[in-house]
């Protein structure tokens, strides 16, 4: 096969590969790079306490039952959130690509409040991990970003699959699929956050308390 052949003459597998490659390039160009200074990161660092843990957050659409976004809180020596292809920002929270530092309970509440509304709710899945796994998760998150649009679940599942104990998770582009796979892991604690629930504010803070 020659590169100067008309596209209509290309074999279908080769044409599909070409189109996928072009899409990846376009999406990569759309990913916005952000890199906070070391001084900003150091000033914002927040130690959450409690056991090291990973918290998978899936934003679900009420009407369609579709998962519209995936993010991952990482609590180790500090608490951050990996928010791949996310739109949430806070002036006081520095970001390096898709990793946000200084995730205090107030910052976490801002994240949840920006996603949980009359059309969407959050499924929050927490699991205790070793300090080594938490550190590895943060290192991987910093290596990945910035993530192109519509790749939040793909990026998060790729990160998780590289961690001890999470290798069995499937690779997926769909947040609700990753959420269902994550639920099968031993020790997962699951909560749901609904804006119209009478105890919404209390639950939003409860899912951020150290385990």
C-alpha gyration radius of the chain: 19
Helices H / strands E in the chain, number of each: 7, 7
CA-to-CA distance for 49 and 54, rounded, in angstroms? Answer: 13
Q: Are 88 and 103 in contact (CB under 8 A)?
A: no
Cα 71–73–77 angle (5° rounding)?
A: 155
Q: Note the pLDDT of residue 27.
A: 43
Residues with Cβ < 8 Å from 35, sequence gap 6 or more?
96, 97
H or E element in which residue 99 lies? strand 99-100
Indicate if the pLDDT at residue 123 is higher than 80: yes
DSSP 125-180: EEEE--HHHHHHHHHHHHHHPSPPTT-HHHHHHHHHTTSTT-TTSPP-S-HHHHHH
**What pTM was estimated for this model as a whole?**
0.85
Question: 49's torsion region: left (phi>0), alpha (psi -120 to 50) or beta?
Answer: left
pLDDT tens digits for range 189-198: 999 999 999 9
pLDDT digit string, tens, across residues 179-190 = 999 999 999 999
Q: Is the pLDDT of residue 25 over 80?
A: no
Tens of pLDDT, residue by residue over 41-50, are 999 999 998 9
State the pLDDT at residue 6.
53
At residue 75, does pLDDT exceed 60?
A: yes
């Amino acid at each position: 096969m020659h590169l100067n052949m008309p596209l209509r003459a290309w074999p279908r597998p080769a044409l599909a590969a070409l189109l996928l490659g072009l899409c990846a390039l376009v999406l990569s160009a759309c990913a916005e790079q952000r890199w906070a200074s070391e001084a900003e990161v150091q000033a914002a660092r927040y130690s959450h306490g409690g056991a090291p843990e990973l918290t998978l957050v899936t934003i679900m659409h009420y009407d369609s039952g579709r998962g519209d976004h995936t993010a991952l809180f990482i609590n180790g020596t500090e608490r951050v959130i990996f928010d791949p292809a996310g739109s949430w920002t806070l002036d006081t929270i520095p970001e390096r690509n898709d990793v946000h530092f200084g995730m205090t309970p107030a910052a976490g509440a801002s994240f949840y409040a920006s996603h949980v509304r009359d059309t969407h709710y959050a499924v929050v899945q927490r699991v205790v991990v070793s300090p080594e796994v938490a550190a590895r998760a943060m290192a991987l998150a910093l290596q990945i970003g910035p993530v192109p649009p519509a790749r939040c679940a793909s990026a998060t599942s790729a990160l998780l699959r590289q961690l001890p104990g999470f290798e069995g998770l499937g690779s997926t582009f769909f947040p609700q699929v990753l959420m269902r796979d994550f639920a099968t892991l031993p020790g997962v604690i699951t909560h749901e956050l609904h804006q119209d629930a009478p105890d919404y504010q209390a639950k939003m803070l409860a899912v951020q308390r150290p385990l």
